[in-house]
Amino acid sequence: KEAKNMKKLSFLIVLLLIACLICENALAVNVFFTTKDVNFVPNQRLEIEYAAQNGNNEDMGISVFFTGDLAQYMSAEPANFPLGAGKTKKFTVIINFPEKIEKPGTHSETISIKEDRYNQKGTIVVFAQVNQPLRIHVPYSGKYLDASLSTDGAKQNQPITFKVSVANLGDETINSVYGTVYAYNSDNVTIGSASTDSASNLESNTQQELSTLMSSTGIMPGRYWADADMYYDGATKRTDRIEFRIGELKAQITNYTQQGYFGKINRFNVEAESSWNDPINNVYADVTLKNDTQVLNSFRTLADTLSPWEKKNLGGYIELSNVPIGNYTVEITLNYAGKTDFVSGNFEAVEEPKPEPEKPKVFPGSAIATIVGMTLLLINIIIWIMISKKKRDSNAK
């Protein structure tokens, strides 16, 4: 009997391990879609194409359902369908909009695609689910303008291009919209302004881009801020304030490696930052290590390109094989576009710390949780076997 019970226990353990392996690969459905945003139109029937892909090597069933405050208007065709191993199948999400939705603004809905997968005997069932967001935009009553400001900045003494994206989120047509862009310094003092072009007959759920040029003559390179007042049919909308830059052809050293291990070759980084609106090519640094006036070592970093406003490390290697422990002077010259930036500072050669003794390996939290869970399950199985054995023994008596 004991041998028989051990066989049962071994069989249950094997089933448990198989179940764990199946659960690891449970989520095997991918979903493809064309949009995440739609606009409400009264009484409209809207159809959106989706596709489900089975990324596993076994067949599954797919079911589609919806959650959200507008889920009652949503359905899928088909809502349930089989999906073969490695196959892709299209389905359609249908929205039957009502005459009116009371709450304006953006409604966040969820399209859930659930997979139902079975083993050949049908004894193990794994459910996994993929959720895809869908935002439904319901217009406000009357005329409602939304506006956002953007710019890439400009080079010193060149015009700054500002763009304003305007959208009519109301249910009435906006007859005319135009605006003024204002620029500010760090003290919130206005340093410039410019009028945008205008748009007319901006219908509900449509948008348009307006633009303007602002002079930067006399404005020093640096960081600035801007916003815009947009005027439409007797109302005003102010955009959020944004940051922009006036650039100059300049790159500077912002940091460098200040310590290395004596007796070996060390990685050495020079951090360079661009203040220019265009890429700066072939940027590199010449590094010299000195002990007072004696040159101990020198090298050149690899050349690289700095993107507009980018901060990047230029890498090289410093030889400290014959440099004793101590403090030294490092001189760095950054070379770019026929210009240079120079920094002189401290560099320390130190002894490399001895490696710490290897610590005992610790299982990650997830592994511990898995082991504890499996142990508890095995204990329950053993208890169940013992109780069953006692019942059989009692019945036999």
Pairing of strands 125-138, 37-39: parallel
- What pLDDT was estimated at residue 8? 55
Q: Domain locations in the chain?
A: 26-138, 145-247, 251-350
Do the domains 26-138 and 251-350 sit in the same CATH topology, yes or no?
A: yes
At the topology level, CATH places domain 251-350 in Immunoglobulin-like (2.60.40)
Instruction: Please write the tens of the pLDDT for every residue from 282-302.
Output: 999 999 999 999 999 999 999
pLDDT at 116: 75
Mind listing the pLDDT tens digit for each residue in 34-80? 889 999 999 999 999 999 998 888 888 999 999 999 999 999 999 99
What's the pLDDT tens digit per position in 163-196? 999 999 999 999 999 999 999 999 999 999 999 9
Q: Provide the 3-class DSSP secondary structure of residue 79.
A: coil
Classify residue 208 by burial, with Cβ atoms within 10 Å: 0-12, 13-18, 19+. Answer: middle
For the chain, what percent of residues have pLDDT higher than 90?
72
pLDDT score for 156: 92
Residues 6+ apart with CB under 8 A from 366: none
| 208's tokens | 């348009």
Q: Distance between the two ends of the chain, CA-based, in angstroms?
A: 16
Which of the four CATH numbers 3.40.47.10, 3.50.50.60, 1.10.460.10, 2.60.40.10 does domain 145-247 have?
A: 2.60.40.10
Cα–Cα nearest to 218, from 151, 278, 152, 159:
159
- Per DSSP, helices labelled H in the chain are 2-24, 365-396
Q: Mean pLDDT throughout 348-366?
A: 73
Per DSSP, what are the bridge partners of residue 116? Answer: 61, 127
Q: What are the Cα distances from residue 195, in Å, to 96, 151, 154, 161, 216?
A: 43, 15, 18, 12, 15
| CATH 2.60.40.10 holds for 26-138 | yes
Residue 12 confidence class, pLDDT cut points 50, 70, 90: low
> Of 212, 230, 226, 221, which is closest to residue 159 (Cα–Cα)?
212
Of 230, 236, 176, 239, the C-alpha closest to 202 is 176
Cβ-defined contacts of 189-195 (< 8 Å, 24+): 191/219, 191/224, 192/216, 192/219, 194/162
pLDDT at residue 97 is higher than 90: yes
For residue 340, give every residue at least 6 positions away whose Cβ sits within 8 Å of its Cβ, in sequence order, or none: 333, 334
| Predicted confidence (pLDDT) at residue 125 exceeds the cutoff of 60 | no
Amino acid letter, residue 92: T
226 CB neighbour count, 10 Å cutoff = 25
Average pLDDT over residues 205-221: 95
pLDDT in tens, 216-275: 999 999 999 999 999 999 999 999 999 999 999 999 999 999 999 999 999 999 999 999
What was the pLDDT predicted at 370? 65
Q: What does the pLDDT read at residue 377?
A: 75
